[in-house]
Amino acid sequence: MARNARGGPPGRKPRVQLAAVAVAGLFVLLGVLGFVPGITTGYGDMTFAGHHSEARLLGLFQVSILHNALHLGFGLAGLLLARSVGGARVFLAGGGALYLGLWLYGFAIDRESAANFIPVNDADNWLHLFLGFGMLALGLLLSNRVGTGTRLDNPFDRP
């Protein structure tokens, strides 16, 4: 069977790109849904930023205008990056590392302080942990055979 330079059948996008599009699309969807009353409870109590926002996406995840805008921006950036294999890798693996950092930040800060400007709550923190590991795994595991046009590098094959 013929293979394209990305490691897959001709005319098909590599799985890492498809995963990046799916994850980026999810972020865009979450960003939009954060502005929809009913899907976001306490919509009238949403603030631009900070821990005082009482809005909850799906009644669970604390959101603000800034939080929703960050989801939208991250998702749109992911859709642009997913146009190439390298960009898809960067979005998934780099974004996963970023979300793991955000998870650590969410546990380190005082939730009632100005440091909680995004804002985040316990549900957000657990979601950030899941997203971080999931995106990192997708970015690293789905891209092993794409982008180089050659076989995988094996350290024992080197002179």
Residue that wins the pLDDT comparison between 145 and 12: 12
Summarize pLDDT for 89-121 with one digit per residue, the tens. 999 999 999 999 999 998 888 878 888 788 888
- The pLDDT of residue 3: 47
Sheet containing 56-57: give its strands across.
Answer: 40-41, 56-57, 61-62
What confidence category does residue 158 fall into, taking pLDDT thresholds of 50, 70 and 90? very low
Instruction: Give me the mean pLDDT over the 60-82 stretch.
Output: 95
Please, what's the b/e burial string for 34-67 (b: 16 or more CB within 10 A of its CB; e: otherwise)? bbeeeebeebeebeebebebbbbbeeebbbbebb
The whole-number pLDDT of residue 114 equals 81
Task: Note the residue count of the chain.
Answer: 159
| 48 pLDDT more than 60 | yes
- Residues 147, 149, 150, 155, Cα dihedral to 10°: -20
Q: Stretch 123-144: mean pLDDT, rounded?
A: 91
Average pLDDT over the chain reads 86
Q: How far apart are CA 125 and CA 121, in angstroms?
A: 6
d(CA 5, CA 147): 7
Q: What mean pLDDT comes out for the span 69-96?
A: 96
Segment 114-140 shows an average pLDDT of 91
Q: What number is the average pLDDT over the span 79-87?
A: 96
For 64, the token pair is 């603000």
Quick one: pLDDT at residue 153?
45
